[in-house]
């Protein structure tokens, strides 16, 4: 149970499992595969290679210089990333400036060090006319135990002063909690959450309780 509105909680669920799936036991092959994956995840976590952020703007000998960023827009999930591609990135005004290398059970990017769209499902773009505006398309799965490392490495490359962060994400209408019937809701619709530091006008209604945001968007 959440102790306050906005807390990130993970509720166990057996929804969607039929009796046959519930009765099926893990085979020795499944256990061996799971152990090997856990070993590889552990080795990568210990070596710091589980998540790696590569920036092209650091390739010119800038060393540990932090990126000056005024607005950082992050699209998390395939739908949000597709929205950026269709309505914002479909022009020559943006350039690729970074990539996240990620390895887990559901996402395995290549080991190359080149920043290419084919190498990763998490890319950073910079507005050519204003280099302080940055976009991120993250359509890959980031595991729960990787979210803090993802945030630490991405935001550790940026100056925090004057930085405004906007997160775009989606969820099924069936997960939206309301007293109205979800069948009568106009879909898709937009809701927002904001911190007390955000003083500008919100472009859509605020998300009502008891709805919550989960996973990487919540982090």
Q: What is the DSSP string of 23-37?
A: HPPPPHHHHHHHHHH
Q: Which residues of 148-175 are buried (b: 16+ CB within 10 A; e: fewer)?
A: ebbeeebeebeeeeebebebbbbbeeee
Q: How far is Cα of residue 77 from the mean position of the Cα atoms in its chain?
A: 7
Q: Which pLDDT does position 72 carry in this prediction? A: 95
Q: Which pLDDT does position 117 carry in this prediction? A: 46
Q: Which pLDDT does position 37 carry in this prediction? A: 65
Q: What does DSSP assign to residue 201?
A: P
Q: Which pLDDT does position 67 carry in this prediction? A: 86
- Do 93 and 184 form a contact (C-beta atoms < 8 A)? no
Structure tokens at 152: 């630490």
Q: Which residues of 100-137 are buried (b: 16+ CB within 10 A; e: fewer)?
A: bbbbbeebebeeeeebeeebbbbbbbbeeeeeebbbbb
Q: What is the pLDDT along the chain (219 residues), one digit of tens a residue?
A: 555 555 555 555 454 445 444 446 778 777 776 676 666 666 555 545 577 888 886 544 445 678 889 999 999 988 999 898 888 888 779 998 988 877 666 665 544 444 444 445 788 999 999 999 999 999 888 888 888 989 999 999 899 888 999 999 998 888 888 888 777 878 788 999 998 888 888 889 999 989 988 899 998
pTM score of the predicted model: 0.70
Helix (H) or strand (E) holding 87: helix 78-87
Q: How far is Cα of residue 178 from the mean position of the Cα atoms in its chain?
A: 26
Structure tokens at 178: 């309301």
Q: Which pLDDT does position 112 carry in this prediction? A: 45
What are the residue boundaries of the structural domains of the chain, listed by start?
52-57+65-107+116-169, 173-218
């Amino acid at each position: 149970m959440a102790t306050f509105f906005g807390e990130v909680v993970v509720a166990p669920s057996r929804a969607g499992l039929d009796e046959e799936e519930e009765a099926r036991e893990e085979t020795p092959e499944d256990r061996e595969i799971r152990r090997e994956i856990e070993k590889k995840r552990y080795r990568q976590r210990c070596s710091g290679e589980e998540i790696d952020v590569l920036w092209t703007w650091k390739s010119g000998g800038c060393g540990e210089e932090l990126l000056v960023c005024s607005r950082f827009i992050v699209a998390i999930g395939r739908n949000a990333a597709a929205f950026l591609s269709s309505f914002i990135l479909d022009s020559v005004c943006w350039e690729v400036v970074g990539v996240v290398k990620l390895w887990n059970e559901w996402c395995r990017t290549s080991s190359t060090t080149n920043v290419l769209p084919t190498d990763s499902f998490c890319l950073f773009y910079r507005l050519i006319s204003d280099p302080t505006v940055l976009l991120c398309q993250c359509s890959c799965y980031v595991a729960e135990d990787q979210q803090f490392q993802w945030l630490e490495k991405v935001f550790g490359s940026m100056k925090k002063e004057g930085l405004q962060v906007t997160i775009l994400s989606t969820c099924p209408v069936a997960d939206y909690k309301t007293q109205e019937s979800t069948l009568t809701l106009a879909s898709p619709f937009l809701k927002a959450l904001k911190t007390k530091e955000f003083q500008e006008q919100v472009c859509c209604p605020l998300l009502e309780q008891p709805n919550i945001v989960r996973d990487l968007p919540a982090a």
